[in-house]
Structure 1
Amino acid sequence: MSIYDKLQSLGITLPPVATPAAAYVPFVQTGSLVFLSGHTAKKDGKPWVGQFGKTMTTDEGKAAARSVAIDLLGTLHAAVGDLNRVKRIVKVMSLVNSTGDFTEQHLVTNGASELLGQVFGDRGAHARSAFGVAQIPMGSCVEIELIAEVG
């Protein structure tokens, strides 16, 4: 099954690449690696604002991280032209807007990691970091960046 068939079976339509909100580009390819800039969570086209441990639950966070992964896939498609060229999702780095006593950043980030596994199978298994941070641009609850290897 192609990646696009898998996305369709999951009811996912890839979004277009978002226009950068500052002085950076959405992706850079060097050799066989594609580095995607951080993507923030959005809900209904606007920043998905919230802070874990204060205004959001871990389950809401998983949904937010999943939505970020969908945006990342849209950017990755734009970067490489065909997601079937992806040999491996290499690394995911997640920033989770959270209070000092919130300790479930890794569970929030699972929303993205699990979707990447569903879409790419074994090629979606990746190294990962998940950090709690005091704030993310525009008050977003989650920001995630990704590194992929393409063939």
Structure 2
Amino acid sequence: MSVYNQLKALHIELPPVATPAAAYVPFVRTGNLVFVSGHIARKDGKPWVGQLGKEIGTEEGKAAARAIAIDLMGTLQAAVGDLNKVKRIVKLMSLVNSAPTFTEQHLVTNGASELFSQVFGDKGAHARSAFGVAQIPMGSCVEIELIAEVE
């Protein structure tokens, strides 16, 4: 099944590429790799603010990570023109705005990882890092970057 059929089945509409908030570009392609800059969690068009383990629980953080995955796919589509050209989601790096005692960054990041597997099947299985950090730009709860291999 094509990536777009999967997205349609999941009732997902990809957003356009967001304008960078600082001095960087949304993605860089070198050879067959596309490096997608970190995307912060957004809710209703605004930063999804909060700290995991304090104002936000794991399940809400997981929903925020899933929302980021949708934004990342929108940027990846802009980079390659057609998501069916993705050979592999290679790696995700997830930064989770965490209270000092919060230790479920890996579960929060599953929100993105699980969606990539649903949309891309075996091509969506990826290497991953999930870190707890003291703060993320604009107070966002999660930020994720992506590396993909394309045709």
The TM tier, using the shorter chain, reads over 0.9
Give me the TM-score of the superposition, normalised by structure 2: 1.00
Distance in 2 (CA, whole Å) between partners of 1:8 and 1:50 is 30
Whole-Å separation in 2 of the counterparts to 1:21 and 1:143: 13
Q: Corresponding residue for 1:138?
A: 138
5+ long unaligned stretches in structure 1: none
- Once the two structures are superposed, residues 57-83 of structure 1 have per-residue CA deviations (whole angstroms, 9 ceiling, x without a partner) of 000000000000000000000000000
SS at match of 2:13: coil
1:83 pairs with 2:83: yes
How much does 1:84 deviate?
0.2
Instruction: Please tell me the residue identity of whatever aligns with 1:94.
Output: S
| Aligned-partner residue type, residue 33 of structure 2 | L
> What SS class does the counterpart of residue 112 from structure 2 fall into?
helix
Map 1:110-129 onto structure 2 (within 5 A). 110-129=110-129
What are the ranges of 5 or more consecutive residues in structure 2 without an aligned counterpart? none
Q: Cα distance, 1:38 vs. partner?
A: 0.1
Q: How many Å separate the matches in 1 of 2:38 and 2:148?
A: 13
Aligned length: 151
What TM-score comes out, normalization by structure 1 length?
1.00
| CA deviation after TM superposition for structure 1 residue 100, in Å | 1.0
Query: Deviation per CA, 1:1-30, whole angstroms, max 9, x where unpaired?
Result: 110011000000000000000000000000
Matched, 1:9 2:38: no
The percent identity for this pair of structures is 80
Q: Which runs of 4+ in 1 moved over 6 A?
A: none
Q: Partner of 2:58 in structure 1?
A: 58
* Secondary structure at the counterpart of residue 128 of structure 2: strand
Aligned with 2:62: secondary structure?
A: helix
Query: Following superposition of structure 1 onto structure 2, how do residues 69-108 of structure 1 map, counting pairs within 5 Å?
Result: 69-108=69-108
Shift of 1:41: 0.1
Q: What is the one-letter code of the residue matched to 2:143?
A: E
Distance 1:50 1:130 in 2: 17
Q: 2: CA distance between counterparts of 1:72 and 1:53?
A: 25
